[in-house]
């Protein structure tokens, strides 16, 4: 599936500033990056801004991240509550700012979407997948988005249709595609399997 995102490993890059957005276990990708930076870690931290939120599975390494001592550290309860801050940071930023995203696919996809809307190509953002594999799924029928999907199929949290969770991914929506699984034989819904944890 060509649209299935591929994630990498965060690496420090030269830049005028460094913006990190992470959730849950993504904190450890940031901690590892500063470990790798070695002697340069302190000068990097002076220009770093970290926005962090707990993962969908409840993992919260906020205290360890805060202890890094970045120029700015901000903890939010959720991406929705962090988003206005992220958009403001991007609106005020200059070229040279490096963007690092780590944690769940849902968090990285939504933050990446804001960076793309700010004018950068999607490949200009570094990403590293850590922690939960739960998915953000858009129902192609009612267009509603269901967060933290664990099973396949799932019941759309908006219209109630049973959806097959595809690998087909949309960067614009920051979501995987969910398609009605029993459209041709209503009621013939396979048992849900836990595919994402």
Task: Give the interface with another protein as residue ranges (CB under 8 A).
Answer: 13-16, 90-98, 116, 118-121, 123-124
CA atoms within 13 A on the CB side of 49: 15
Q: How far is the CB of 49 from another protein (least distance, A)?
A: 13
Phi, psi of 154 (to 5 degrees): -125, 165
Q: Which two tokens stand for residue 84?
A: 């206005």
* Shortest distance in whole angstroms from residue 18 CB to another protein: 9
Residue 3 vs 16, nearer CB to another protein: 16
Q: Quick one: how far is CA 170 from the chain centroid?
A: 13
Cβ-based nearer residue to another protein, 9 or 117: 117
Minimum CB separation of residue 117 from another protein in Å reads 9
Length of the chain: 197
Q: Which is nearer to another protein, 39 or 91 (CB)?
A: 91
Spatial contact of 140 and 50, defined as CB atoms under 8 Å apart: no
Tell me how far apart the alpha carbons of residues 59 and 164 are, in angstroms, rounded to a whole number: 28
Report the residue number, 87 or 143, with the smaller CB distance to another protein.
Answer: 87
């Amino acid at each position: 599936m060509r649209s299935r995102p591929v994630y990498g490993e965060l690496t420090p890059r030269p830049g005028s500033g460094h913006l990190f957005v992470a959730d849950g276990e993504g904190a450890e990708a940031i901690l590892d990056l500063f470990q790798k930076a070695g002697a340069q870690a302190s000068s990097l931290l002076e220009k770093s801004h970290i926005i962090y939120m707990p993962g969908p599975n409840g993992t919260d390494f906020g205290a360890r991240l805060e202890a890094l001592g970045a120029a700015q550290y901000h903890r939010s309860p959720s991406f929705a509550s962090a988003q206005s801050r992220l958009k403001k940071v991007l609106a005020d930023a200059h070229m040279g700012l490096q963007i690092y995203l780590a944690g769940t696919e849902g968090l990285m996809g939504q933050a990446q979407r804001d960076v793309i809307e700010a004018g950068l190509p999607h490949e200009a953002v570094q990403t590293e997948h850590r922690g939960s594999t739960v998915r953000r799924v858009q129902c192609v029928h009612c267009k509603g988005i269901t967060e933290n999907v664990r099973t396949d199929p799932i019941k759309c949290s908006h219209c109630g249709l049973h959806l097959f969770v595809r690998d087909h991914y949309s960067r614009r929506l920051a979501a995987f595609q969910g398609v009605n699984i029993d459209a041709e034989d209503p009621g013939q819904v396979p048992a849900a399997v836990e595919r994402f944890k």
